[in-house]
Amino acid sequence: MKWMWIVLVAVTAVFAAEHKPPAGSGENESVDIAATLYADRDSIRGILGSDLDGNYIVLDVRVTPKYEKEVSIERDQFVLRTDKDGEKSTPFTPSQIAGRGVLVVSESGSGGGFMGDRGGPMIGGYPGGGMPGRLGGESPGVGNAAGETTTQSKANSGSKDKEDPILKVLRQKMLPEKKTDQPIAGLLYFPLGKQKVKHLELLYDGPGGKISMRFK
């Protein structure tokens, strides 16, 4: 029985290693940063209770100020970029993801698709945020000779809508913005959709200079 237990422990360790989320780290003169990447729907559901419809990549970020010196932490200091097409984004706020008044855009049709299938994913505006657009830029013209596409949009009515339960979770877990001399951690939500880990790069531009991080 002892050898069976050893085998079970070994198999469990291998399974855990294979399913451990990718991570990256970096540092500059002022901060150390460690980030864990959740890029697939199952792993995102595991930390949030929702997969966000597969439209987001989530990063669990920990920022540690050096020498107990106070630094200012802001979410827009972080940019997630993909090598796939050069698309990049700063984090979305919870209200942009699941707030009242979020504009949901859907496409239907055949053949070539909307905007000739060029550009990034559609993003919807929050109240006052303007019309939706594609991350990475728009393509010239709608559709192509291969088929026709109809784009439909539906705006939540606002005050009469029930608050999405995921909104509270997103707010509770997101990276706080504050000045601190102590380690601080939280989640960042990037609207880049499905991406391969090898294509992703996290960029930081804050106190102490720029940092670039890859994940493995």
What are the structural domains of the chain?
22-99+174-216 (2.60.40), 101-162 (no CATH)
More confident residue, 161 or 58: 58
Helix or strand or coil: residue 149?
Answer: strand
Q: Is the pLDDT of residue 149 over 50?
A: no
Helix or strand or coil: residue 182?
Answer: coil
Q: How far is CA 151 from CA 113, 121, 132, in A?
A: 10, 13, 12
CB under 8 Å, gap of 24 or more: what pairs does 123-128 form? Answer: 123/191, 124/153, 126/93, 126/95, 126/96, 126/99, 126/101, 126/102, 127/99, 127/100, 127/101, 127/158
Residue 143's closest CA among 119, 114, 117, 122? 114
Read off the pTM: 0.68
Mean pLDDT over 122-143 rounds to 41
Q: In the predicted model, what is the mean pLDDT of the chain?
A: 76
pLDDT, position 19: 72
**Choice among 10-14, 20-24, 47-51, 78-82 with the minimum mean pLDDT:** 10-14
Q: How far, in Å, CA of 8 to CA of 5, rounded? A: 5
Q: How far, in Å, CA of 213 to CA of 32, rounded? A: 11
